[in-house]
Amino acid sequence: MAENKSDLTFESVKIGDPLGPSEFHLSKDQVRAYARTTGMWVPRFTDDEAARKEGLPGMITPGNMSLAILSKLVTDWIGASGAQLTRMGTTYRQPVLPDHAITLQGFVTDKNESNHTAEMDIWLENEDGERLVIGTATVHFPR
């Protein structure tokens, strides 16, 4: 496993290397700030009561914000290595509720010598270990 982000190279990356885990608290105000900034100021992302009227358990995190949070897991892993996140695909299994602890995690699952890329699984889970958003990403390393 590459010990230092600046040391991360295609050759140093091994199948099984972890990304994270990274834990943090996602606050309602952070979600509101994202909704305001991205022009998504709709009740389900900003107000518990209004979200409940839509049948949701409370205000939820926009899918794009979950995607952005997960992309940071990958870009933090890439660091200053010069590698690039070239693809991400995600599946939303359950709403991500703010005001909870979130854990981001992933693993390198494959390497492609000809493309100089690494494939990785990534996911976002809650305090109960439920994987709310799962996905895969591809990172390209410079030759």
Site residues, other proteins (CB under 8 A): 15-16, 23-25, 27-30, 33, 89, 91, 93-94, 99-101, 103, 106-107, 109-110, 119, 121, 123, 127-131, 134, 136
Cβ proximity to other proteins: between 4 and 109 the closer is: 109
Look at residues 139, 142, 141, 63 and name the one whose alpha carbon lies nearest to residue 96.
63
Q: How far is the CB of 51 from other proteins (least distance, A)?
A: 18
Using DSSP's 3-state secondary structure scheme, residue 119 falls into: strand
Residue 3 or 128 having the CB closest to other proteins: 128
Q: Which of 69, 79, 75 is nearest to 6 (CA)?
A: 79
Which tokens sit at 52?
A: 């409940």
Nearer to other proteins, 8 or 95 (CB): 95
Q: Shortest distance, CB of residue 96 to other proteins, whole angstroms?
A: 13
In terms of Cα–Cα distance, which of 74, 39, 72, 46 is closest to 61? Answer: 46
